[in-house]
């Protein structure tokens, strides 16, 4: 098995929204904002080479929305999905599985591309993976979350016939679901309903793709919860449970949105759980 970091660029979001009730005077010391109160966030995917499977976890913003849409998010940087795959000798047609942690536009926007007047899967040989509980949540969205679930990112996946659903366990918060020999799926519901976090056995370590449970290292302290989370008290409970397990089992955390750090391990301190060592996935 091999793991590859696949950066697809950066975007910006409001720092206050990203850190919720935590005052800027505190969070800006660990994650600085610009003069508009915007912070840089990565769009970092993970490529898992596991035998004959080549699994891409999330796929960034994509490029099919119009200039007005992108003007709200300031996409920047030289990395693209294509260039990052090519760095390791791969291209889109090599991908066998596209694993979607959830269906917010910054995680699944690259799933679908425009071909003339048509929308088509960007990964023509891949199976796309979601789960029925989250799919239903995303396709009949609440008013608060509706702007994050763009139908042009989502519905063409199902229409293509390439979509499959991962079974959601009855005891969602306690049960991990197998996704192959070396990958298990952890479900969390604070950010959005039934978000999936891949947990990968790799080189004697457990690597967890954090998606939006912990967008950055700066979100490790328990109260640092995004205003974007649908159920912030659920996030608090999920974070506390996960972080304790991560410390006890020496997990490696892989961050999708941290513009400054790719991975870290954790330690317990007198202030609670904090990052211990920070490094690249290639250094595991």
Looking at domain 2-283, its CATH class is alpha beta
CB 40 within 8 A of CB 18: no
Domain borders along the chain are 2-283
Q: What mean pLDDT is predicted for residues 225-250? A: 97
pLDDT of residue 90: 98
Structure tokens at 106: 């910054």
pLDDT of residue 231: 98
Sheet with 53-57, strands from edge to edge, namely: 2-14, 38-50, 53-57, 97-99, 127-130, 163-165
Residue written as token pair 């789960």? 131
- CA distances from residue 257 to 161, 211, 239, 243, 253 in whole angstroms, order as listed: 30, 8, 17, 18, 12
pLDDT of residue 116: 86
Average pLDDT, rounded, for the chain: 97
pTM across the whole model: 0.96
What digits encode the pLDDT tens for the residues 239-270?
999 999 999 999 999 999 999 999 999 999 99
Helix (H, G, I), strand (E, B) or coil at 237: helix
What digits encode the pLDDT tens for the residues 47-68?
999 999 999 999 999 999 999 9
pLDDT of residue 117: 86
Residue written as token pair 């800027």? 24
pLDDT of residue 173: 82
Query: Above pLDDT 90, what percent of the chain?
Result: 96
Q: What mean pLDDT is predicted for residues 70-91? A: 97
Q: Pick 7 or 172 by higher pLDDT.
A: 7
User: Is residue 174 over pLDDT 90?
Assistant: no
What digits encode the pLDDT tens for the residues 90-144?
999 999 999 999 999 999 999 999 988 899 999 999 999 999 999 999 999 999 9
């Amino acid at each position: 098995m091999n793991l590859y970091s696949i950066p697809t660029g950066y975007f910006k979001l409001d720092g206050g929204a990203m850190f919720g009730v935590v005052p800027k005077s505190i969070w800006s010391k660990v994650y600085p904002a610009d003069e508009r109160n915007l912070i840089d966030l990565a769009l970092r995917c993970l490529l898992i080479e596991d035998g004959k499977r080549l699994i891409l976890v999330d796929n960034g913003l994509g490029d099919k929305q119009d200039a007005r849409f992108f003007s709200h998010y300031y996409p920047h940087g030289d990395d693209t999905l294509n260039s990052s795959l090519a760095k390791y000798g791969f291209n889109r047609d090599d991908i066998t599985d596209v694993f979607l942690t959830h269906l917010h536009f910054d995680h699944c926007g690259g799933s679908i591309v425009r071909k003339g007047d048509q929308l088509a899967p960007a990964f023509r040989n891949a199976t796309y993976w979601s789960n029925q509980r989250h799919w239903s949540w995303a396709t009949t969205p609440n008013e608060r979350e509706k702007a994050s679930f763009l139908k042009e990112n989502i519905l063409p996946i199902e229409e293509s016939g390439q979509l499959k659903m991962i079974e959601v366990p009855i005891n969602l918060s306690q049960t991990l679901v197998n996704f192959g020999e070396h990958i298990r799926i952890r479900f969390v519901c604070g950010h959005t309903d039934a978000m999936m976090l891949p947990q990968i056995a790799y080189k004697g370590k457990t690597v967890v793709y954090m998606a939006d449970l912990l967008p950055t290292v700066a979100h490790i302290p328990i109260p640092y919860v995004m205003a974007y989370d649908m159920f912030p008290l659920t996030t608090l409970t999920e974070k506390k449970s996960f972080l304790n397990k991560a410390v006890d089992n020496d997990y490696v955390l892989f961050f999708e949105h941290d513009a400054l750090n790719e991975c870290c391990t954790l330690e317990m301190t007198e202030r609670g759980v904090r990052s211990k060592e920070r490094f690249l996935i290639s250094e595991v």
